[in-house]
Chain A
Amino acid sequence: MDRIKQAFASKQNLLNMYYTAGYPSLHDTLPLAKALVSAGADILEIGMPFSDPLADGPVIQRSSSAALANGMNLPVLFGQLQELRAAIPETPVLLMGYLNPVLQFGMEAFLKKAAEVGVDGLILPDLPLDEYEEMYHPMFQKYGLKAVFLITPQTSEARIRRLDALSDAFLYLVSGPGTTGGTTLPDVEAQKEYFERIAAMNLKTPRLIGFGIADKTGFDRACGHADGAIIGSALIRALEDTDDAPATAARFVQAIKQA
């Protein structure tokens, strides 16, 4: 069984922690992964920094700019991931990022390399579904990589069914309108109807809720409507004001996971 399936089969209320590779410093990628997993993160989503991250808010954009200035790029990241997989053998690791750097690396070369270093899945928000289905899905399957798709309150039922059929990881339920880490956090409870509508569809794919979840309260509420939640900007914000990124990351996860 693959790591993602294993995680959803064996645990409830999964916490997927996002952070930007190469931030706060170039070589924090591995120490942060170890700290997050030891503290209880169930899935790691590692951001591949991009100069123009359209779906992300100012917090992740700042961390991406800083990571690029630190010298992060895909060859450096793949080197770090090799060590990361050795240190964290069981936790699913996803790469999240935008299509342009991936295409410059070469889609097939990228997938091959990602599989080699032990990446489990990919989130590429600007990859069109039609092109994924026709051109890339067979390539993903060849290398054993899982694709994660986003759903918003405006996504039609027919499209959700199509995404469910195509995904072999989990569906990423965007909690409401806005980019990541917005200043006005979408209220998970206010989106109850949307989450219930999707829960009632009896999809084959598990669901995690993301965007605007910043603390234990938000996480617990999200877990009431899906298989878990994704937190990113709130962690990055905490990392902006610290000299000890791994310790801060560990405390952040402990505060969410505490009973």
Chain B
Amino acid sequence: MTPSYQQPTARGYYGEFGGAFIPEMLYPNVEELRTRYLDILADPDFQAELQQLLRDYVGRPTPLFEAKRLSERYGTRVFLKREDLCHTGAHKINNTVGQILLAKRLGKTRIIAETGAGQHGVATATVCALMGLPCVVYMGAIDIERQAPNVARMRLLGAEVRRAESGSQTLKDATNEAIRDWISNPVDTHYIIGSVVGPHPYPDLVARLQAVISEEMRAQLLEKTGSELPNFVVACVGGGSNAAGAFYHFLDEPAVRLIAVEAAGHGINSGHSAATSVLGTPGIIHGSRTLLMQDEHGQITEPYSLSAGLDYPGIGPLHAHLGASGRAQFVSITDDEALKAVSELSRLEGIIPALETAHALAALGQIGAGPNDVVVVNLSGRGDKDLETYLKNMDKLV
């Protein structure tokens, strides 16, 4: 099989990135998933159930909205792919709906997940409630504080939220704890990873489930602009699941420029940043070889971003490959620039974006799009969960 941007090799490599670097305790689980996921995804019964849930439960297709006032502001034609209108308020549910159906076919009776901003945790808790499966979500102690509404939502949905107290007490540590849970419960439990990270086949599995975003974009663009292909697709990257979904069906279309937007935090060289593509070097995190923020001795360093969904010290191996090969261009946006984008979208279009998504929006001024260009920004999530952060930063918002 020839590797392409869409398709990793049999061992899960995108170029030099990917693979499955896992202890033996996880091997049977990951191997079962690896040998079965493609057949399950291709099964007509699975697809019928998935498509019905995406339509009737998630609310797909999500609209592609031409943002006229934002377009005027940036002197280009901006479309917003409204993943914020998905049930639970973010693209994350595209993946959890697919993985819960997969888990059922694997005969699993218990679900675990990790979460940073809480959107993936909420999406997982939601599908577990829908399917009647017990759900444990690991979340960093700091994230539990700064994303309180999502913690409340998960609990209301019947999930148990467990605090990760180690390390930086954020997404990285929540992921460590979820992996340990899986090691301790190797037979009955499925781990729903929320981004295009982790050992093979997770990056490919999650990318395939999120690819519905770019599949719809192509059809909607054809209808609205007469061409399936935009000039730019812009998406924020923490681990990179919304970006993988937004890029997926354009990966082999060289005319489409793919812009991956990372969180620079206080600034790339401030020591408080999560801009992995700039600050990272090749290494292994959570089971795959990718770009990773680490010190000279290979210890993983603690990233920073005001946004709980972007402060991850790595990126998915597909994104590392897209960056290394030049297929995608990486842009870094500071906390302050993202906050400015929040107020801009709120006031120009009446849409309050998630703080993560605001990073993608803030890149609009930097990509060099002209008046005849079509730019699609993946509006990955809505800002309700971030209201407390926005309230604390009102001086930067207005």
Contact = CB atoms under 8 A, between A and B. Distances in A.
Contact of A179 (B19, B22, B180, B285): B180
A52 B180 contact: no
Given A100-B285, A103-B284, A174-B24, A51 B184 contact: no
Contact of B183 (A105, A149, A177): A177
A104 B287 CA distance: 16
A154 B183 contact: no
A31 interface: no
Interface string B110-131: 0000000000000000000000
A98 to B, nearest CB: 8
Contact of A177 (B176, B184, B296): B184
Contacts of B172: 52
B298 A105 contact: yes
A127 B21 contact: yes
Interface in B180-229: 180, 183-187
A155 B24 contact: yes
A128 interface: yes
A178 B297 contact: no
Contacts of B299: 50-51, 68, 101
B180 A100 contact: no
Interface residues of A, number: 39
Interface residues on B, range: 20 to 34
A152 B24 contact: yes
A136 B172 CA distance: 29
B28 interface: yes
A140 B184 CA distance: 31
B113 to A, nearest CB: 16
B297 to A, nearest CB: 4
A52 B283 contact: no
B27 interface: yes
Given A50-B299, A178-B183, A152 B284 contact: no
Given A73-B297, A104-B298, A105-B298, A152 B167 contact: no
A126 B287 contact: yes
A104 B185 contact: no
Given A54-B176, A126-B22, A61 B298 contact: no
B25 A99 contact: no
Interface string A97-138: 011111111000000000000000000011110110000000
A61 B23 CA distance: 16
Contacts of B292: 100
Contacts of B185: 177
Given A61-B166, A100-B298, A177-B184, A52 B285 contact: yes
A250 interface: no
B298 A102 contact: yes
A156 B20 contact: no
20 contacts: A50-B298, A54-B176, A54-B179, A54-B286, A55-B23, A57-B180, A68-B299, A98-B284, A100-B285, A100-B294, A100-B298, A101-B297, A103-B298, A104-B298, A128-B19, A154-B27, A154-B186, A177-B186, A177-B187, A179-B183
Interface of A: 50-52, 54-55, 57-58, 61, 65, 68, 73-74, 98-105, 125-128, 130-131, 149-152, 154-156, 159, 174, 177-179, 182
Interface of B: 11, 19-25, 27-28, 166-167, 172, 176, 179-180, 183-187, 283-287, 292, 294, 296-301
5 tightest A-B contacts by CB? A104-B298, A101-B298, A125-B23, A150-B24, A154-B28
